[in-house]
Amino acid sequence: MALTGVLRPGHVAIRVLEMGPALKHYTEVLGLIEVARDDQGRVFLKAWDEHDHHSVVLREADEAGMDYMGWLVDSHGSLEALAAAVKESGLCTNLEWIPAGEHPATGVRFRFVIPTGHVMELYAKKEKVGNDCGEDGPDINPRPWPDGLRGMAPSRFDHCLLYGDDLDGTVELFTKVLGFGVAEQVMAGPDKSLMIGAFLSCSNKAHDVAFIRQPVKGKFHHASFHLGSWEQVLRAGDIISRTRTSIDIGPTRHGITRGETIYFFDPSGNRNEVFCGGYVYYPDKPTITWWEQELGAGIFYHDRKLNEAFLSVFT
Amino acid sequence: MALTGVLRPGHVAIRVLEMGPALKHYTEVLGLIEVARDDQGRVFLKAWDEHDHHSVVLREADEAGMDYMGWLVDSHGSLEALAAAVKESGLCTNLEWIPAGEHPATGVRFRFVIPTGHVMELYAKKEKVGNDCGEDGPDINPRPWPDGLRGMAPSRFDHCLLYGDDLDGTVELFTKVLGFGVAEQVMAGPDKSLMIGAFLSCSNKAHDVAFIRQPVKGKFHHASFHLGSWEQVLRAGDIISRTRTSIDIGPTRHGITRGETIYFFDPSGNRNEVFCGGYVYYPDKPTITWWEQELGAGIFYHDRKLNEAFLSVFT
Amino acid sequence: MALTGVLRPGHVAIRVLEMGPALKHYTEVLGLIEVARDDQGRVFLKAWDEHDHHSVVLREADEAGMDYMGWLVDSHGSLEALAAAVKESGLCTNLEWIPAGEHPATGVRFRFVIPTGHVMELYAKKEKVGNDCGEDGPDINPRPWPDGLRGMAPSRFDHCLLYGDDLDGTVELFTKVLGFGVAEQVMAGPDKSLMIGAFLSCSNKAHDVAFIRQPVKGKFHHASFHLGSWEQVLRAGDIISRTRTSIDIGPTRHGITRGETIYFFDPSGNRNEVFCGGYVYYPDKPTITWWEQELGAGIFYHDRKLNEAFLSVFT
Amino acid sequence: MALTGVLRPGHVAIRVLEMGPALKHYTEVLGLIEVARDDQGRVFLKAWDEHDHHSVVLREADEAGMDYMGWLVDSHGSLEALAAAVKESGLCTNLEWIPAGEHPATGVRFRFVIPTGHVMELYAKKEKVGNDCGEDGPDINPRPWPDGLRGMAPSRFDHCLLYGDDLDGTVELFTKVLGFGVAEQVMAGPDKSLMIGAFLSCSNKAHDVAFIRQPVKGKFHHASFHLGSWEQVLRAGDIISRTRTSIDIGPTRHGITRGETIYFFDPSGNRNEVFCGGYVYYPDKPTITWWEQELGAGIFYHDRKLNEAFLSVFT
């Protein structure tokens, strides 16, 4: 198989301060679909074009932020091999196996804490529930989009951007152990040798996860969801205003990844992004380098200015 | 590495009846960039966002059509292993190694004829020449698109659609030997068990190559190039008309792959496509099935009718 | 006032064979809003961004086609002056006044038959009902689009294209009596002196009504509705297919008026268009001329071919 | 004629500090076409889809800002009648006739200072030079856009936004004497009875000129140019960054007029806008009212916040 090992970001578990407003936000404003609740009160959601059972998990807590991010791997064999390799690397702590069924419709998950302090999981199995486009049965003679979409209606959960201190360790883990490539990097220091940002891909996407070096542990900058066009980014901006959702910045373009984007906050202060565009990444594509002094243009290409709020607000 | 083995379609070699008009078409109308000529008179071109030396090869000949399609693999080790596996499979004929340098800036290529009669190549090395976006050096602080684009200006060569008889053999080769997945299939016959079309992916793209069962050997339906938006598809239609290029069909949407598309012919009668859109494919994504009686909608979603000229004209 | 006399096409009355399927088409597929029914069984509809009470009237009849088209004029004084001028011109027949209230929420209408055999009306009064965008009252602090849109959701009824024999008489009426300009014309004959098509504007729109010379009386080619973008034209095509609506042609671009367009049929066989784009017309703008031999490109710019079905099917 | 009296904003005369950088900006970044220079050193430019000789006049001066704005009227008779009405109104000062030829290819202009201190002109004649789209002669069988476009390539000069003190007098002049309608207004004060902004239209455009009440005389906020799509607004943002043009704000959407927009500065500090979208205005359309407390959303709909720099920077 040409795509092997870690296939994609499969879920992100987000802490919210109150479930009611959070659910309203994620289903009516962002436009995800609720698929399950469990007896802990967690709510599981998916985007319309995802085939897997869920991709977002909401949990009520006293503090906003990300609990963990989960990665689908291509087989149980790969899961065991990668778990062994993570252990072997010595880069991670708190390694544990979460039993099958702890997430509904999901197999066993291997959980670990990476050098930047984030909790990551690998898993090989989640029930396929399809995308409601098939007109004569699941995946048979499909239409291009289903009826009944609400809100911004992104097609899928795409990536997270995370803040943490030991960027070197985390990048080593993702590239050497988990098989990711560095699509883009931000370099600082007098000789531009200090990596302060890394955009990592395990696929043809410009990023599946990104990390920024910050003197914190396990912090969450945003979860991002994919739209089909720049016109849908405009429409997302209209919905943000119409629903009095707290906007962060956009519509605009990123220099890094070329994406066309808008940012906003859920009612608990967790940042969301919806975006479109970007290029096709391959593992042999040269890494794009941004110098710290051009980071303004790297983050928001049109105004080329560092945006303090964008950099300093996270959960 | 998460993307392994066969990485992408790296070149297509097209026969044209006269080089002059062909070059004008591929550089001014389609908008590729000429990068080299060789002493056989072949001309090598690339799209603006491709990093490799070339992706299209034009050769003057008495008959239009496709000479061969080349696939980049991730390493010389993979190249040797895949060459051995192709040989072992017994599915292919005319196996041969083409020496490095036969294509400029390109390493050795392993060439073979697949069951549908098409010539395919695997290779592991082609010089990186970049995309002209870096503002402070190659791949450093890039802008999202370069200056000086001409014509439709697709970002890359994307895939080919090919006609041939032994579809079963070719699909077996691509899926069992080369590691592709079947993203979509068209099924005919009273019990819908005869595959008459296969859309194959070695990446996150909805297709890297597609085959239609037809009682011919080695025929070429079209080579396709990627655009960034539906508005660029409209602009492509305007350019087709402005330049009196022979149009085939579009703008419209495909049911199969969901792409937004327009088709036209080069001066030798070879069909080109430019398109945008489609979904993200993964190897675990359920194969989409189209029934033959819904094939009209599968090919051109808006009018749901089989288009005789689209099906019967090829080179 | 800078816009004076005839302001805009205010309504089109369309005959349908069965009201049930027609209404489903005009409200769910096209996406107009039903605003009233009368005791004759007529149904009155409007588009979401129209402020007037209605713009489309459906009537069940044995034959499809257009009953009449109505034009809003700027004042009762203008209505009386234009009625007198129409009478004076001697170009029209069957002049009559329709009493106020015959259309709900509408004042008196002056009705007449024009040289091409179409029934036209002038009126100065129709109740304003607004567009549902105001957030703090009608027209106060509006959002850019309302909630609850369905189907293609055009913003307004835009124009009709009509077929008839005495094009010269009708163009004389519209230009000399009603104050329209000829934005574009199609010229035939050995010295290109025979006008066979006229696109007439009483506003900044590229056309408010168009006529094609055909040896018939009072025939209806299509009623057209306005969309905001080329992406909405694509979406209209998706909806056409999804709802198994009979498509005519598109998405494509017109040469005449530059509009981006798609055509389809209501269940009675009346042709509808949704489109976007075009230029800003002014009365001093030079008339654009199309030669009959370039009419293919004039009608559908991308393929430059005359489409027999598009020309010969009307109601 | 249905469009009568004042037809459109025909030119804006802008002062720039240095002609070289200004010309580079207006021709290469904005993408206007230079059409003439005169012996005073003034440079005359037009947008590609304008038929008149020029629409922008640049003059080197010690201070940036707007010299005057000119309005095309429909005939010499209207020009004389409107000049008499302006005089009669007693609202304006410094009335004078500028002789034909003072602007190249332009007839006599009637110039006057309006209550907000801006210099306005009316004129009835300017040479038509066409739009370069006709393939078989001017305005014959045109293509939708010409070859050789540069920069953002707006289709036309659209409107100005101006700051001044006596808003009541200026609105009275435009509505009662010049025949404009108030498309949108911003109302302040405890009972929302003080007009602080007026968006005035003499056409189907949502605005041809706008005024904001500020304790200044004759100040210039921006000149605006029309683009065909939201994707072109994105491209304008890319060009702004690529050329290191000073950006103000955007891409975003206006609440007022619904336009999709981006703002930036010429090298002298004069603000430019390029935008698309908006609705079709008619003189009977109810005026849209924005309350001062919703002005943030009125100006930039997505973030709903008053932007101090946008309000306080002008020339």
SS in 3 state form for C1-20? Answer: CCECCEEEEEEEEEEECCHH
| Helix ranges (DSSP H) in A226-279 | 230-242
Nearest chain D residue to B234 by CA distance is D144
Contact B54, B155 (CB under 8 A): no
Contact D33, D27 (CB under 8 A): yes
**Which residue is it, tokens 């059972």?**
A53
Chain A CB contacts of C147 under 8 Å are 242
Cα D229 to chain centroid, rounded: 19
Same topology, domains D6-123 and D158-312? Answer is yes
Give yes or no for D229 touching B (CB within 8 A). yes
Could B181 and A6 be called an inter-chain contact, meaning their C-beta atoms sit closer than 8 Å?
no
Rounded to a whole number of angstroms, the distance between the first and last alpha carbons of chain C is 38
Contact A172, A88 (CB under 8 A): no
- For chain B, how long is the longest CA-to-CA vector? 61
Selection from B267, B273, B240, B315 nearest residue B19 by Cα: B267
Could C141 and D291 be called an inter-chain contact, meaning their C-beta atoms sit closer than 8 Å?
yes
Structure tokens at D247: 């950006």
The minimal CB distance from D144 to the residues B145, B229, B238 is found for B238
Q: What angle is formed at CA B87 by the lines to CA B82 and CA B91, rounded to 5 degrees?
A: 110
DSSP C99: P
Nearest chain B residue to C246 by CA distance is B303
Give yes or no for B293 touching A (CB within 8 A). no
Contact B38, B54 (CB under 8 A): no
CA-CA-CA-CA dihedral for B123, B124, B127, B130, to nearest 10: 100
Chain C CB contacts of B258 under 8 Å are none
DSSP D267: T
What count of other Cβ atoms lies within 10 Å of the Cβ of residue C181? Answer: 21
Mean pLDDT confidence for A55-76? 98
Chain A CB contacts of C143 under 8 Å are 238, 241-242
| Helix ranges (DSSP H) in chain D | 19-24, 76-89, 167-172, 230-242, 295-299, 308-312
Give yes or no for C243 touching B (CB within 8 A). no
Could A252 and D251 be called an inter-chain contact, meaning their C-beta atoms sit closer than 8 Å?
yes
Domain boundaries, chain D: 6-123, 158-312
Q: What does the alpha-carbon distance between residue A63 and residue A220 come to, in Å, rounded to a whole number?
A: 12
| Helix ranges (DSSP H) in chain B | 19-24, 76-89, 167-172, 230-242, 295-299, 308-312
Q: Which residues of C are catalytic?
A: 159, 207, 222, 254, 263, 273
Q: Name the phi and psi angles at D147, rounded to 5.
A: -75, 160
- For chain D, how long is the longest CA-to-CA vector? 62
Three-class DSSP category at B28:
helix
CA gyration radius, chain A: 19
Chain B CB contacts of D244 under 8 Å are none
Q: What does the alpha-carbon distance between residue B61 and residue D30 come to, in Å, rounded to a whole number?
A: 46
Structure tokens at B252: 């419209």
CA gyration radius, chain D: 19
Structure tokens at B190: 């009273």
Summarize pLDDT for C242-264 with one digit per residue, the tens: 999 999 999 999 999 999 999 99
Amino acid letter, B66: M
Measured CA to CA in angstroms, residue C222 lies from B197, B250, C202, C264 at distances of 38, 22, 19, 9
- Cis-peptide, bond into residue D251, ω within 30° of zero: yes
Q: What does the alpha-carbon distance between residue C108 and residue C93 come to, in Å, rounded to a whole number?
A: 18
Selection from B202, D283, D220 nearest residue A280 by Cα: B202
Contact D173, D86 (CB under 8 A): yes
State the pLDDT at residue C1: 52
What count of other Cβ atoms lies within 10 Å of the Cβ of residue A255? Answer: 25
Chain B CB contacts of D242 under 8 Å are 143
Measured CA to CA in angstroms, residue B292 lies from A200, A284, C240 at distances of 41, 39, 21
Q: Which CATH number fits domain D6-123: 3.30.300.30, 3.40.50.1700, 1.10.40.30, 3.10.180.10?
A: 3.10.180.10
Summarize pLDDT for D53-95 with one digit per residue, the tens: 999 999 999 999 999 999 999 999 999 999 999 999 999 999 9
Could D145 and B231 be called an inter-chain contact, meaning their C-beta atoms sit closer than 8 Å?
no
Could B285 and A51 be called an inter-chain contact, meaning their C-beta atoms sit closer than 8 Å?
yes
**CB–CB contacts below 8 A, A to B:** 154
Give yes or no for B144 touching D (CB within 8 A). yes
Cα D266 to chain centroid, rounded: 15
Q: For chain C, which chains pass the contact test of at least 3 CB pairs under 8 Å?
A: A, B, D
Q: What does the alpha-carbon distance between residue B177 and residue D269 come to, in Å, rounded to a whole number?
A: 63
Superfamily (CATH) of domain A158-312:
2,3-Dihydroxybiphenyl 1,2-Dioxygenase, domain 1 (3.10.180.10)
State the pLDDT at residue D1: 52
Selection from D57, D162, D80 nearest residue D114 by Cα: D162
Q: What does the alpha-carbon distance between residue D30 and residue D21 come to, in Å, rounded to a whole number?
A: 12
Q: Is C240 left (phi over 0), alpha (psi -120 to 50) or beta?
A: alpha
Catalytic (active site) residue B53: no
State the pLDDT at residue D2: 74
Structure tokens at C212: 């094609």
Q: What does the alpha-carbon distance between residue A273 and residue A265 come to, in Å, rounded to a whole number?
A: 9
Question: With b meaning 16 or more CB within 10 Å and e meaning fewer, what string describes C190-219?
Answer: eeeeebbbbbbbbbbbbbbbbbbbbeeebb
Q: Measure in Å the smallest separation between the Cα of C283 and chain D Cα atoms.
A: 7
Give yes or no for B146 touching A (CB within 8 A). no
Q: What does the alpha-carbon distance between residue B310 and residue B299 come to, in Å, rounded to a whole number?
A: 9
Contacting residues for A227 by C-beta, under 8 A, at least 6 apart: A152, A154, A155, A233, A236, A274, A275, A276
Pairing status of strand A33-37 against strand A43-46: antiparallel
Q: Measure in Å the smallest separation between the Cα of B240 and chain C Cα atoms.
A: 7
Class of domain B156-312: alpha beta
Query: Could you tell me what percentage of chain A is helix, strand and coil, using 3-state DSSP and rounding each to the nearest 5?
Result: 20, 40, 40
Chain B CB contacts of C241 under 8 Å are 297, 301-304
DSSP output for C141-173: SB-SS-S---TT--SEEEEEEEEES-HHHHHHI
DSSP bridge pairs for D163:
D212, D219
- The list of chain B residues with pLDDT below 50 reads none
- The list of chain C residues with pLDDT below 50 reads none
Cα A21 to chain centroid, rounded: 21
Structure tokens at C159: 């124009």
The minimal CB distance from D241 to the residues A237, A244, A297 is found for A297
Q: What is the overall mean pLDDT for chain C?
A: 97
Structure tokens at C58: 């459906």
CA-CA-CA-CA dihedral for B106, B111, B115, B117, to nearest 10: 80
ipTM of predicted assembly, 2 dp: 0.96
Mean pLDDT confidence for A26-36? 98
Q: What does the alpha-carbon distance between residue C92 and residue C303 come to, in Å, rounded to a whole number?
A: 38
The minimal CB distance from B237 to the residues C237, C240, C253 is found for C253
Nearest chain D residue to C200 by CA distance is D2
- Active-site entry in B26, B123, B263, B281: B263
Q: What does the alpha-carbon distance between residue A152 and residue A272 come to, in Å, rounded to a whole number?
A: 12
Sheet-wide strand order for A43-46 = A33-37, A43-46, A56-60, A6-16, A65-73, A119-123, A109-113, A93-98
Q: What does the alpha-carbon distance between residue C240 and residue C266 come to, in Å, rounded to a whole number?
A: 11
Contacting residues for D145 by C-beta, under 8 A, at least 6 apart: B238, D48, D133
Measured CA to CA in angstroms, residue A38 lies from A10, A46, A71, A101 at distances of 18, 15, 21, 11
**20-79 in chain C: CB under 8 A from chain D:** 49, 51, 72, 74
Q: Measure in Å the smallest separation between the Cα of D233 and chain B Cα atoms.
A: 13
Q: What does the alpha-carbon distance between residue A19 and residue A11 come to, in Å, rounded to a whole number?
A: 18
| Helix ranges (DSSP H) in chain C | 19-24, 76-89, 167-172, 230-242, 295-299, 308-312
Chain A CB contacts of B258 under 8 Å are 144
Give yes or no for A229 touching C (CB within 8 A). yes
Q: What does the alpha-carbon distance between residue D227 and residue D166 come to, in Å, rounded to a whole number?
A: 32
Q: What does the alpha-carbon distance between residue A294 and residue C166 come to, in Å, rounded to a whole number?
A: 67
Sign, CA dihedral A270-A275-A278-A283, equals positive
Could C145 and A231 be called an inter-chain contact, meaning their C-beta atoms sit closer than 8 Å?
no
State the pLDDT at residue B1: 52
* CB-neighbour burial class of residue D293 (10 A; exposed 0-12, middle 13-18, buried 19+): exposed
Q: Which residues of D are catalytic?
A: 159, 207, 222, 254, 263, 273
